[in-house]
Amino acid sequence: MIPWFIAAHGGSRPRGSAMRRFASIPLVFALIGTACTGPGPGQNPDDGNDGEVPDCGAVVINALPEPGDDDFFAGSLLFVQFDRAPDTASLILTGPDGVVDGDVTATNGDRVHWLVPDEDLQPLSDYVLAVDWTPTTCGTLEIAFSTSAHGLPVDDADDLPSNTFELDLFSATIVQPPGVGPILQSLMVDTSILFRPLETSAPAEGELHVVGALGDLGDGTLRQDLCSESFPFTYGPDGLYGTPDDAPATWNDPMLELGPTDFDLVVQEVPFTIQELELRGTFHPDLRDLKGGTFEGLIDTRPLAVLIDPNAGPNAMCELMEDTIGVSCEECGGDSPGLFCLTLEARDVVATRIEGLSLVERTAADIAADPACAP
């Protein structure tokens, strides 16, 4: 599934907190039913209406949050999308402490109007987003919603090493490079990335050591791919835990900040590296998931060229980006220079706890000695 925002807007959006994406046909009818059925304020149902739905002018066809959402992530942006650009539009958010200050920005030919609060919303709180626009004869649209518990301290940070999480990069919103989301995510179908804080972590001291691994869905049950090396997310360049070059992740309850680190990944049996990877996100108090995550790094596209064509040259991915969406590759630098790299920035990253799954560290030597991993 292509994320709604990328599909509709080609990745153009204001910078800020993460956004959740959705594509809800029922929502369109819910919003139209709320804003555009029945007479407007002060309008008599019989005043030339003959029982028909009045012409509302511009119509709201999508919104975030959805009406009645009781699990809205407090760090998300808020928006409404009209079927055509209104002449004027205002978004006013009211919460426990009154009106929430923020900026309204219009994108996509002024059809999408964003409200960017000056501060994250409060967890476990009730809010109402009031939307007024012209031309309309249907009055104010009010979207009532409640925020989730994300942002509150976790119940027991010492439980972190007891949990394994799956990163959902496939449905994240890739905002850099603009418009590249569908291409990169199409390459990641059936790719599962798992991670777990190690027992050597020290949450009370603000430090986490994190191991990652590829997931295996071969029999329909998600488990660790034991024939692939685990990822040393927080190890130094030597790949060994407990040495002076370690760079532990930062734990600032309830937020995880990991990196920068080089991340070796395998997609469709093709190994490549995300350089200077940084991962951030906010855990739910009961550690059921992480939301509002960001995933940033630099991708050298040369190894991925074979996914387009086994006989393709090293510039194949860059040529595809240039030809399809007008994005040019940038200089990789370092030990392997050349205009082959892309800066990746994914937002709205979610990681969900996988019950009953524990990760083990696997090295190349472990795999070579395991008969189950023989070619």
**Contact status, residue 143 vs residue 67, Cβ threshold 8 Å:** yes
Residue at 151 is within a domain? no
Looking at 114, 146, 178, which one is the last position of a domain? 146
Residue at 60 is within a domain? yes
User: Helix, strand, coil % (nearest 5) of the chain?
Assistant: 15, 35, 50
Strand partners, 128: 94, 144
Residue at 88 is within a domain? yes
pLDDT digits (tens, 9 = 90+) for 113-133: 999 999 889 999 999 999 999
Predicted local confidence at residue 37, as pLDDT: 36
With b for 16 or more beta-carbon neighbours within 10 A and e for fewer, the 327-345 pattern comes to: bebeebeeeeeeebbbebb
Predicted local confidence at residue 69, as pLDDT: 95
Tell me, yes or no, whether 117 and 242 share the same domain. no
Tell me, yes or no, whether 139 and 192 share the same domain. no
pLDDT digits (tens, 9 = 90+) for 325-348: 888 999 988 788 999 998 888 888
Looking at 146, 168, 197, which one is the last position of a domain? 146
Tell me, yes or no, whether 273 and 222 share the same domain. yes
Tell me, yes or no, whether 97 and 189 share the same domain. no
**Contact status, residue 308 vs residue 317, Cβ threshold 8 Å:** yes
Predicted local confidence at residue 237, as pLDDT: 63
Tell me, yes or no, whether 94 and 200 share the same domain. no
Contacts of 37 (CB under 8 A, 6+ apart): 53, 138
Dihedral pair phi/psi, residue 365, rounded to 5° = -65, -40
Tell me, yes or no, whether 329 and 198 share the same domain. yes
Residue at 273 is within a domain? yes
Predicted local confidence at residue 22, as pLDDT: 33
Tell me, yes or no, whether 188 and 101 share the same domain. no
Residue 42 Rama label (left phi>0; alpha psi -120 to 50; beta): left
Predicted local confidence at residue 34, as pLDDT: 40
Tell me, yes or no, whether 176 and 273 share the same domain. yes
d(CA 145, CA 106): 22
Looking at 146, 170, 203, which one is the last position of a domain? 146
The runs of H, that is alpha helices, within the chain are: 4-9, 25-36, 181-186, 305-308, 316-325, 364-368
Q: What three-state secondary structure class fits 306?
A: helix
Q: Which ranges of the chain have pLDDT less than 50?
A: 1-49, 51, 53
User: Range of 50's domain?
Assistant: 4-146
Residue at 152 is within a domain? no
**Contact status, residue 181 vs residue 3, Cβ threshold 8 Å:** yes
Residue at 254 is within a domain? yes
The CATH number of the domain where 98 resides is what? Answer: 2.60.40.1220
Residue at 73 is within a domain? yes
**Contact status, residue 84 vs residue 46, Cβ threshold 8 Å:** no
Structure tokens at 90: 């205002």
Tell me, yes or no, whether 212 and 345 share the same domain. yes
Angle at 299 between CA 297 and CA 302, to 5 degrees: 170
Tell me, yes or no, whether 172 and 321 share the same domain. yes
**Contact status, residue 26 vs residue 10, Cβ threshold 8 Å:** no
Tell me, yes or no, whether 215 and 271 share the same domain. yes
Place of tokens 């007024």: 132
Specify the number of domains making up the chain: 2
Predicted local confidence at residue 137, as pLDDT: 77
Tell me, yes or no, whether 186 and 207 share the same domain. yes
Structure tokens at 307: 């996914």
d(CA 349, CA 1): 15
